[in-house]
Amino acid sequence: MLRCQDSENNAQFYRLRLKDLWFIMHNAQFIIDSSETQNIASLLVGFDLPLSKSVRARELVLDALSGFDVKIEEDNDDLFVLSRALYNSQFTIHNSQLSDKSDWSDESDNSQFSILNLRDSGTALRFMTAFCAVSEGEYVLTGSKRLCERPIKPLVDALCRMGAKIEYVDKEGFAPLRIKGGNLKGGKVSLDASLSSQFVSALMLIADKVEGGVDIEYEGDVASEAYIRLTEKVIERYRRGERRSEEKDWSSATVWYAAMAVLRTGRFLLEGLSLDSCQPDRAIVDVFEKLGVRTIGTEMGVIIEANCDIVDKLVVDCKNMPDAVMYIAVAACVLGVDFEIRGIETLRVKESDRIEVLITEMEKCGFEIIHNSQFIIHNLKTTMCDVQYVVQKPLIKTYNDHRVAMAMAVVGLVREIDIENPEVVSKSYPGFWEEIRKIKNRK
From 1.10.10.10, 3.40.920.10, 3.40.30.10, 3.65.10.10, which CATH number describes the 249-442 domain?
A: 3.65.10.10
pLDDT on residue 374 = 80
pLDDT at 55 over 50: yes
DSSP E strands in 274-382: the ranges are 291-297, 301-310, 313-317, 338-342, 370-371, 375-378
6 is catalytic: no
Tens of pLDDT, residue by residue over 241-282, are 999 999 999 999 999 999 999 999 999 999 999 999 999 999
36-45, 104-113, 201-210: segment of lowest average pLDDT:
104-113
Single out the catalytic residue among 6, 323, 386, 401: 323
Q: Residue 302: is its pLDDT beyond 80?
A: yes
pLDDT in tens, 147-175: 999 999 999 999 999 999 999 999 999 99
Q: How far apart are CA 198 and CA 326, in angstroms?
A: 20
pLDDT tops 80 at residue 116 = yes
Q: Once rounded to an integer, what is the mean pLDDT over residues 294-315?
A: 94
Task: Give the dihedral of Cα atoms 204, 210, 213, 216; nearest 10 deg.
Answer: -50
Q: Is the pLDDT score of 180 beyond 60?
A: yes
Domain residue spans of the chain: 1-42, 53-239, 249-442
In whole angstroms, what is the distance from residue 210 CA to residue 350 CA? 29
Instruction: Report which of 250, 223, 15, 11 is spatially closest to residue 122, judged by C-alpha positions.
Output: 223
Give the model's confidence band at 373: pLDDT under 50 very low, under 70 low, under 90 confident, else very high. Answer: confident
**Residue 389 or 316, more confident:** 316
102, pLDDT greater than 50: no
> Is residue 351 predicted with pLDDT exceeding 60?
yes
pLDDT at 29: 29
Topology agreement, domain 53-239 and domain 249-442: yes
Pairwise CA distance, residues 365 & 394, whole Å: 7
Residue 391 confidence (pLDDT): 67
Mean pLDDT of 85-93: 71
Is pLDDT at 350 greater than 50 in this prediction? yes
The percentage of residues in the chain with a pLDDT greater than 90, rounded to a whole number, is 76
User: In this structure, how many other beta carbons lie within 10 angstroms of the beta carbon of residue 314?
Assistant: 21
For residue 382, name the pLDDT band (cuts at 50, 70, 90). Answer: very low
pLDDT, mean of residues 96-108? 40
User: The domain at 53-239 falls in which architecture?
Assistant: Alpha-beta prism (3.65)
pLDDT at 375: 84
Give me the chain's average pLDDT, please.
Answer: 85
pLDDT tens by residue, 3-32 = 222 333 332 222 223 233 333 333 322 222
Say what the pLDDT of residue 48 is: 96
In this prediction, residues 371-393 reach a mean pLDDT of 66
Average pLDDT (402-426) is 96
pLDDT of residue 85 exceeding 50: yes
Task: Please answer whether residues 134 and 92 qualify as being in contact, where contact means their C-beta atoms are separated by less than 8 angstroms.
Answer: no
Q: Render 406-427 in DSSP notation, one character per residue.
A: HHHHHHTTTS--EESSGGGGGG
**How confident is the model at residue 9, as a pLDDT?**
33
The residues with which 51 forms a beta bridge, in sequence order, are 248
Residue 62 binned pLDDT confidence (cut-offs 50, 70, 90): very high
Higher local confidence (pLDDT), 92 or 261: 261
Q: What is the mean pLDDT of residues 287-291?
A: 97
Question: What pLDDT shows up at residue 208?
Answer: 97
Instruction: Report the pLDDT averaged over residues 101-123.
Output: 67
How many Å separate Cα 84 from the centre of its chain?
19
Do 340 and 332 contact (CB within 8 A), yes or no? no
Average pLDDT of span 105-120: 68
Residue 433: its pLDDT value, please? 97
Q: 85-94, 223-232, 390-399: lowest mean pLDDT where?
A: 85-94
Q: With cut-offs at 50, 70 and 90, classify the pLDDT of residue 89.
A: confident
